[in-house]
Amino acid sequence: MQNKELHFNNGRFRIMQIADIQEPYNISSNTLRLMNAALDKASPDLVVLTGDQIKGYSPSLLGQNRRERVESVISRILEPMEKRNIPVTATFGNHDDQCGISNAEQLEIYKKCSSFVYNDPADFGDEGTFYLSVDDKFIIYLFDTHAKDGHGGFGAVRQNQIDWYRNVRDSFEDKNGSVLPSMAFQHIPTPEFYEVLKQTSPIDSNGVRAYGPHKYKWFTLDPYNSTIRDFLWESPASSHINSGEVDAFLEKKDVKALFVGHDHNCSYVSKYKDIYLGFTQGCGFSVYGPDLYRGVRYIDIYPDGSFDSRTLTYFELCGEEIDDKLAYTLRRYAPVSVAGVKTKFLETGAVLGLAGAVAGIMKLTKSLKK
């Protein structure tokens, strides 16, 4: 049962998505500055945290007192919303439980926050999968995408979660006579996030090299399906399999948009068939990210299912004021993943190899002229 009621305010409901806070025990003051400034600017009706709230692999969250330290981090992350009495909810990412504190245990910590909004999780023990209702006119789905897909890729929504979604959707349809407009939030993108991009060449300065099934391809934003505020500075790290989640959303066209995080350097909203797919960039400063374009996204939804969306960045909210500039500078040049390091080596080798081949041809040409 949903523990708090959510309501449209003069025909509008504003959601703020905050992705990839990913903070260790010593939370960055820059992250908190961004969150506080964004909340004051946008005044959302609900904040949705879409996973990797904590840096679960950080040594500061491991050891004998890790539960107390994890609880401290979560409490400080929730404090900006709690002190403003703004409802907040959360699902989980691939790093949250790496500290050894399970998502189920972490959910109990979240529930201690007076502003935290939750519903009974799906009945198969998946604490990050549940829905929220806004005036019984609009449904907000949260899905736990887990960590891995079992096929070498990042996690995906599983079949039992898709079946659960269909049951919830159909129960509201039976009750109301038609499906209710909905929106979904989760951590890891689906493979369809590649479908709204444009394949390009390795020499395109705006292109990024993909990983997984697309690892020999380069992509860029489709200029006909993006806005001036969008950016793609790394490729979507989606599952290597397609679980059919988006296809399920398209069955009755009730889910108007799916918003994700996970890839800190991505921010775009593009249409795929009858659904919008949205990336929100990372928020946290204790991990890699898009420099001063770290930010949040707010989404204004309306009872008919239409919505507007835009991001708020650190630069526009806080300017260039940065604490701990050395750590910030180092993270500007940090690779985004182990795969990213491997790719850089491969690309560097390819460039050196090409340069060597050109030099060899030039040398041969000169010798022939003699």
% of the chain beyond a pLDDT of 90: 81
Distance of CA 26 to the CA centre of its chain: 22
Residues 61, 19: contact at Cβ < 8 Å? no
* Span 30-81, pLDDT tens digits: 999 999 999 999 999 999 999 999 999 999 999 899 999 999 999 999 999 9
* Span 205-231, pLDDT tens digits: 999 999 889 999 999 999 988 888 899
The yes/no answer on whether domain 13-336 falls in CATH 3.40.220.10 is no
* Span 181-193, pLDDT tens digits: 999 999 999 999 9
CB burial readout 333-347, b (16+ within 10 A) else e = eeebeeebeebeeee
Q: How far apart are CA 280 and CA 326, in angstroms?
A: 25
Region for residue 354 given its phi and psi (left: phi exceeds 0; alpha: psi -120 to 50; beta: otherwise): alpha
% of the chain beyond a pLDDT of 70: 90
* Span 296-336, pLDDT tens digits: 999 999 999 999 999 999 999 999 999 988 888 888 777 76
Residues 127, 107: contact at Cβ < 8 Å? yes
pLDDT at 123: 78
Q: Is a pLDDT exceeding 60 seen at residue 347?
A: no
Residues 210, 189: contact at Cβ < 8 Å? no
Please, what is the average pLDDT of the chain? 91
pLDDT at 351: 44
Q: Is a pLDDT exceeding 70 seen at residue 278?
A: yes
Q: Which residues contact 128 (CB under 8 A, 6 or more apart)?
A: 51, 90, 91, 92, 103, 107, 121, 142, 143, 144
pLDDT at 354: 47
pLDDT at 360: 55
Residues 238, 266: contact at Cβ < 8 Å? no
Average pLDDT of span 132-152: 95
Q: Is a pLDDT exceeding 90 seen at residue 345?
A: no
pLDDT at 361: 55
Q: What angle do CA 344, 346, 347 make, to 5 degrees?
A: 65
* DSSP-derived secondary structure for 256-306: EEEEE-S-TTEEEEEEETTEEEEE--B--SSS---GGG-EEEEEEE-TTS-
Output 149 or 364, whichever has higher pLDDT. 149
pLDDT at 206: 92
Residues 287, 22: contact at Cβ < 8 Å? yes
